[in-house]
Amino acid sequence: MSIPYPAHILVIDEIPLLSIGLQQVFRTIHPDTRLEHTSSVYTALSASAFETVPWYLIVLDLDAGAQPGGFLLPAAELKAKFPSSRLMIYSNTYDPSIIEKMSAIGIDAYVHKYESADEIRIAFLHLTAGQPYLSGIFRTLYYDYR
C-alpha cells in the first residue's frame, strides 16, 4: 500500500510541543508530510476544517488522568468519523485493554512515548504496509508480565 503524499497526519494532544517533535520524525520519512495539531478529541470530531482533510494517520495522546480503557471510546469515535485513517495511540500509559481490543476498535498502532524516533518510523512503516504495530515496551509488558 502506498502513501498518498503529501500525507496528512493529525496529532491530538494537550501539548502542542509533541506535534512539533513528531513532525520532525515524520518529515524524515517524507518531506511532504503535513501535520496538524488539536488539543482535544472533541475538536477533531466536530471541527469542519478537519472533516475535509484526508487524514492518513491520526495520533491520539490523552495521557492526563487516563484510566484503564480510557482510550477506547475516543479511539472508537475517531475510527467511526475517519474510517480510512490509520489510528495510533501514542502514550506513556500501559493499558492491556488497548492491546486486547486493537483490531476490534481499529487501533492500528500502540506506541510508547519513550520509544526512540526509530520506533515511530518502524510503526509508520508497518502502518503503510497495512500491518498493526505494538511498540517494544508495550509488547514486553503485555506478553512477559501479564
For the chain (146 residues), the mean pLDDT of every run of 10, in chain order, is 75 83 84 89 93 93 68 91 94 89 94 89 90 94 85
What SS3 state is found at 65? coil
Q: What is the structure's pLDDT at 131?
A: 93
pLDDT number for residue 21? 83
| Superfamily classification of domain 8-144 | Response regulator (3.40.50.2300)
Indicate the pTM of the whole model: 0.91
Amino acid residing at 127: L
What pLDDT is attached to residue 32? 86
